Structure 1
Amino acid sequence: MSRERARRRAERERERAEQAAARAAESERRERREARRRAVTSRLPLPARGSKGPSGVLAQRRRHELTMTAILLGLVNLVVWLAFSDWAPRLLALLVTVLVAPVVHLLLFRRPR
């Protein structure tokens, strides 16, 4: 009986040692990966905190203009979508909207020189 317990205990200890070795190997891989990441990212400039992009007056005006253009063209597509039940006019309107969007934006928000 004591030989059987000793054998099972030795087997459990061997399994624990294998698990500890696997955890140590994973930890070592994680440390190497983090070291590589730190080495690469240390050369990159830090992003500005608290901002997702340009935040000046011109950037704000541009965002507003683009938003208004997108809303207008979206409303046009919504009207076409509700007015026609066939897919051909809907897809044609979507295609025309994508192609005409820069022209509409220019006509709506042209700045005089």
Structure 2
Amino acid sequence: MNLAEELSSKFDIDEMFEKGRGAANFLKAMAHEGRLMILCHLVMGEKSVTELENLLSSRQAAVSQQLARLRIEGIVSFRRDGKAIYYSIKDEKVLKLVSLLYEEFCVKDN
């Protein structure tokens, strides 16, 4: 059995396309400078909307719009504490990928 036959016997093509579609949607959701910056800050832990506004030097409306997209895509979760809303990265897989991106693109070179 050659490699292609072996791989096709182990993987369902329809399932692979479905997972590929999910990965593409995830990457599209992250493919925005503002959303990537938010995620780089969330790698370090939960942040309130106000904290993110200050860290990004952005208006509340802009930060909230990007957080809404990340929330819709299931990338971040939130909790309320009084009037404050706190966001965090929702999924361990997302945290791993964003951590890698953070290390590659956000950490200063020594």
The two structures have a TM-score, normalised by structure 2, of 0.31
User: Normalized per residue, which structure has more strand?
Assistant: 2
By relative contact order (CA 8 Å, sep 6+), the higher-ranking structure is 2
User: Normalized per residue, which structure has more helix?
Assistant: 1
User: Which of structures 1 and 2 has the bigger CA Rg?
Assistant: 1
